[in-house]
Amino acid sequence: MHAPTRLRRIASSILPTVALIGLAPTAAQAATCTFDSSTATVSVSVGSGTTTLSVSAGNVVADGSPCGSATVTNADTIDASATGGTLVIDLSGGPFAPGQKAEASGQSEIEFTGTLGSGVLRIDGSPGADTIAAGTDGVNLNAEENADDVDVTITGVASMVVNGGNGNDRLTWDGREGTGSISTISGAFDGGDGNDLLAGSAADDTIAGSTGTDTVDYSAATISVYIPSLPNSTVTSTIGSDVLTGIENAIGSPAGDYLYGGAAPNVLRGGGGNDVFRGRGGDDLLVGGPGIDGIDLSRSPKRVVVDLARGKADGEGHDVLQKIENATGSKYGDRIKGTPAPNGLYGGAGADVLISGGGNDFLDGGDGGDTLNAGAGDDQVYAGPGTDTIDGGPGFDSCLGGEPNRVRNCEVP
């Protein structure tokens, strides 16, 4: 049975109204900002959305509106309170400095205190070069001028967002510049335009270089890191993972790292551990450190020529090597030469030529008919499958494998 026409018209006029009532949004709580001149304190109640604090013609403003009569010369403290939401400290209009009172550190500015109640703290840099550092003690907004002064001690921060903007910025969340130890708050860091240095926290971060030649820095990490590729990759460690985009260069941790580049030129610097480098195309600079470091060319699409003494590796690209002790070749016929110090030379597949530089070396020809010249020093030589030729050279050498009539100057056969 069909409903009477009158009832159908009534129903059609009511239903849309009910739907609109059900979808009506809840109004966001607005921010409030006041200034107490007797205490030189700006009080900000952060709204449920995003509240932006900035400087406009020397005045302290919140979301574009003045915080009473507060200026960068008559205020000393900005106290924020919230139960969520996002507080933005925007430096694009100028620094929150010098403040009313001079500080003993010699570099005066307005201090940020309060709590966000599990909210988000976002810092937007200036149009120029910024050095913004953070750690367990807080945030230093002008670390390029004063490396030992914490400006932001706001608590209740669930996550951080930092945008460097233009200029060559240094955005670090690992406790440098007098900010304590490495932060445990996850963050999103964007260097913006310019050649930036970015160091995240001990939590999971997203790190973006944007334009320019940008560097990710893990020198404050306490465990090893694995960077599978650049400019974009997910960096893994035992404490979490970071997502990298637009990063050209990398600095490793004090532990043993795996630092791999990409098709474009990269600069990869190891720390104090035993690091492994893989340039993966491009003309790269690979720098080891105090540990025993190696270059891995096992995935090169063609033959490689490596001279560790001269600091050169040609194949995937034309790489410059510094403080590299070991080298692994490709599956093609490679030529790898060591230094006067101890080296580990690994040929891989193919008919390789491995030449000691005179130290106490380990030579492994791998598959293929290889030529292994151990030279001076007490060496260990492993021929591997294939028809190999071994010359132990001067010193007490241990040789394994090789055709009997192709092995000489080996004291331990």
User: By the 8 A CB rule, do 390 and 372 touch?
Assistant: yes
The pLDDT tens digits of the residues spanning 18-55 come to 333 344 444 456 789 999 999 999 999 997 899 999 99
pLDDT of residue 104: 66
Pairing of β 59-62 and β 50-56 = antiparallel
> Is the distance from CB of 200 to CB of 162 less than 8 angstroms?
no
**Interatomic CA distance for residues 209 and 254, integer angstroms:** 23
Q: What's the rounded Cα separation, in Å, for the pair 248 and 266?
A: 6
pLDDT tens digits for range 313-355? 999 999 999 999 999 999 999 999 999 999 999 999 999 999 9
Query: What pLDDT was estimated at residue 262?
Result: 96
pTM above 0.85, yes or no: yes
Per-residue pLDDT at 103: 74
Q: What is the DSSP string of 207-232?
A: EE--SS--EEE-TT-SS--EE-SSSS
- The domain limits of the chain are 31-217, 342-413
CA-only gyration radius of the chain, Å: 31
The set of residues, in sequence order, having a beta carbon less than 8 Å from that of 31 and lying 6+ positions away, is: 44, 45, 46, 47, 51, 62, 63
- Whether pLDDT at 239 is above 70: no
What tens digit of pLDDT does each residue of 351-389 get?
999 999 999 999 999 999 999 999 999 999 999 888 899
Q: Is the pLDDT of residue 118 over 90?
A: yes
Residue 412 predicted with pLDDT over 70: yes
- Per the DSSP assignment, residues forming a β-bridge with 119 are 157
Q: SS3 for 197?
A: strand
How does residue 97 score in pLDDT terms, banded at 50, 70 and 90?
Answer: very high
Which residue type is seen at 209?
A: G
